[in-house]
Amino acid sequence: MSVHKDLIKHAKNQHEEYQEFLKFDQLRETYIEEAIKLCKQGQPFSTNKINQVSKKMNSLGLRMLPKRKYVTNEMVQKYVQSLQKETT
């Protein structure tokens, strides 16, 4: 009987971590969009918030999900440049 309870507890914990991961993922995407928007406008931007969230996501220990890569300012700039090339 205790094995059954342990399995239920484990499944519940994984579900809670996955829900937390999803919230972090949405927050990370929001921060990425903010950085892209600022870069497009020629404004200063930072990837610090993106990488802080990425670190939290990677530390959750959900083995079934890929680790999130850290983002550099150069990566954002290259992405914005590629968007501008597509529209010209």
- d(CA 73, CA 15) in angstroms, rounded, equals 33
Q: Residue 62 in contact with residue 19, Cβ under 8 Å?
A: no
User: Looking at the chain, how many residues does it have?
Assistant: 88
Rounded distance, CA 84 to CA 88, Å? 6
Give me the mean pLDDT over the 21-40 stretch.
97
Nearest to 50 by CA among 66, 77, 30, 79: 30
Please report, rounded to a whole number, the percentage of residues in the chain having pLDDT higher than 90: 68
CB 45 within 8 A of CB 76: yes
User: For residue 35, what are its two tokens?
Assistant: 């950085």
pLDDT tens digits along 8-25: 888 888 889 999 999 999
- Identify the H or E element spanning 60: none
